[in-house]
Amino acid sequence: MENKSCFHWIVKNNFDDADFWLVNKGSLKDLGNPIKQFEPYYTGLKCPVLILPEYGYYLCVYFQQIGVWQRCGIGSTNYKNLRISDIRRIFNELSQQHSMQYNGGINVKVTY
């Protein structure tokens, strides 16, 4: 599946054609950790046309290091889950920021 959109990220579970995947279950330390090997239970991300997959991967590494995914983790035990809706929300906000900057030069800060 090719992503022809300039700004829209494709986020799906069991997505073998993704550029990379996020760990969506586990400890808070591992939650949201990007990996490059497909497993059907991980959440796959396909980068927009204007975003290189390597940049998208390291953006997710950065998100994981600053605790974006930890704040989205849900669960009552040490075993947490990352909802696909939260991942989509974060990347939709990022897409809107990129779109505004590209189309109108408006600088919008996205807070997580």
DSSP 74: B
What pLDDT, on the 0 to 100 scale, is given for residue 101?
A: 59
Q: Rounded distance, CA 21 to CA 110, Å?
A: 22
43: nearest Cα among 55, 26, 29: 26
Q: Which residues contact 51 (CB under 8 A, 6 or more apart)?
A: 9
pLDDT at res. 88: 93
Q: Rounded to two decimals, what is the model's pTM?
A: 0.79
Tens of pLDDT along the chain (112 residues) come to 555 556 789 999 999 999 999 999 999 889 999 999 999 999 999 998 888 999 999 999 999 999 999 998 998 888 999 999 999 999 888 877 766 655 555 444 545 5
- Residue that is written with structure tokens 């290091």 in the block: 65
pLDDT digits (tens, 9 = 90+) for 21-52: 999 999 988 999 999 999 999 999 999 888 89
80, 31 contact by CB (below 8 A): yes
Q: Which amino acid is at 101?
A: Q
Show the tokens assigned to 91: 């990347």
Tokens read off for 102: 């590209």
> Could you tell me what percent of the chain has a pLDDT over 70?
81
